[in-house]
């Protein structure tokens, strides 16, 4: 008699059943959604805005383009893309987490961004869009929370038009040993403390710090993008590799 082997994956440093991870990640983001932007500013000292600016500049988005901002959360990238694509373009803000999506929708609507933005709750591993739908897809600080990253990258590639671009902005492996040590100390002491102080949730920020360490490094992620069918894959380190912006093109 064959014994069935339960598939497992990582949730931070913990090993959990693969089928359980999605719900566990969802709980984290339901918890942090309301204070997400404030915590981003505190945790990165505001530098996350610069990282996102570089992402927008390197995306090559033009008026009239169709853009998917995946794991778009509270809408930082969507806001800027909406301005660029204009009335003839379309930006879809997609997130698997309803709390994050609601915060993003309410914020952008309150700021007057209506008309060329749609909101879709979607799982990156099985995107509900037709093949060859988008000129640009971005996923900023979301890929590390996806259970099956290879499936997500294949799904994103499928949805890109030929010549379309995928940009993955994510925490990565620092290139400087001193920065790496300082970053570890900061991540595992300051982040949970700030999470407790500001969001009354230290455990979620402990998970976020651990999930960064479990994410593939620069070269590994580049290889995964190539395996998913993208070409001319490159990455650009920022803040000594604390963050990397990967870019690939659908042939």
Binding residues for S-adenosyl-L-methionine: 74, 95, 123-124
Closest among 34, 9, 5 to 19, alpha carbons compared: 9
3/224 Cα distance (integer angstroms): 31
DSSP 8-class letter at 123: -
Ramachandran angles phi, psi of 131, nearest 5°: -60, 150
Q: Strand 14-17 vs strand 8-11: parallel, antiparallel, or unpaired?
A: antiparallel
Compute the residue count for the chain. 251
Give whole-number Cα distances, 24 to 19, 100, 145, 203, in Å: 10, 15, 10, 12
Q: 5: which DSSP letter?
A: P
Compute how many other C-beta atoms are within 10 angstroms of the C-beta atom of residue 50: 13
Rounded (to 5) percent helix, strand, coil in the chain: 50, 25, 25
- Listed residue (96, 136, 137) closest to 120, CA to CA: 96
At CB < 8 A and 24+ separation, what contacts does 109-116 make? Answer: 111/79, 113/75, 113/78, 113/79, 113/82, 115/87, 116/82, 116/85, 116/86, 116/87, 116/89, 116/90, 116/91
Output the known binding site. Answer: 74, 95, 123-124
């Amino acid at each position: 008699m064959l014994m069935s082997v339960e598939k497992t994956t990582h949730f931070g440093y913990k090993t959990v059943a693969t089928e359980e991870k999605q719900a566990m990640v969802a709980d984290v983001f339901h918890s942090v959604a309301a204070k997400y932007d404030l915590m981003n500013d505190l945790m990165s000292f505001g530098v996350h805005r610069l990282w996102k600016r570089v992402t927008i500049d390197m995306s090559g988005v033009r008026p009239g383009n169709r853009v998917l901002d995946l794991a778009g959360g509270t809408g930082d990238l969507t806001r800027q893309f909406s301005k660029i694509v204009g009335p003839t373009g379309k930006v879809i803000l997609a997130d698997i987490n309803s709390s994050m999506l609601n915060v993003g929708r309410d914020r952008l609507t309150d700021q007057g961004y209506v008309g060329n933005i749609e909101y879709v709750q979607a799982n990156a591993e099985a995107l509900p869009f037709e093949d060859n739908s988008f000129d640009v897809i971005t996923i900023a600080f979301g890929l590390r929370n996806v259970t099956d990253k290879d499936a997500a990258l294949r799904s994103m590639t499928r949805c890109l038009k030929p010549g379309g671009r995928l940009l993955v902005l994510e925490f990565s492996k620092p290139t400087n040993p001193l920065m790496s040590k300082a970053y570890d100390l900061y991540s595992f002491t300051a982040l949970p403390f700030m999470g407790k102080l500001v969001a009354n949730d230290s455990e979620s920020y402990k998970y976020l710090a651990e999930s960064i360490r479990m994410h593939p490094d620069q070269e590994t992620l580049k290889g995964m993008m190539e395996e998913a069918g993208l070409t001319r894959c490159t990455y650009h380190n920022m803040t000594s590799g604390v963050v990397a912006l990967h870019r690939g093109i659908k042939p």
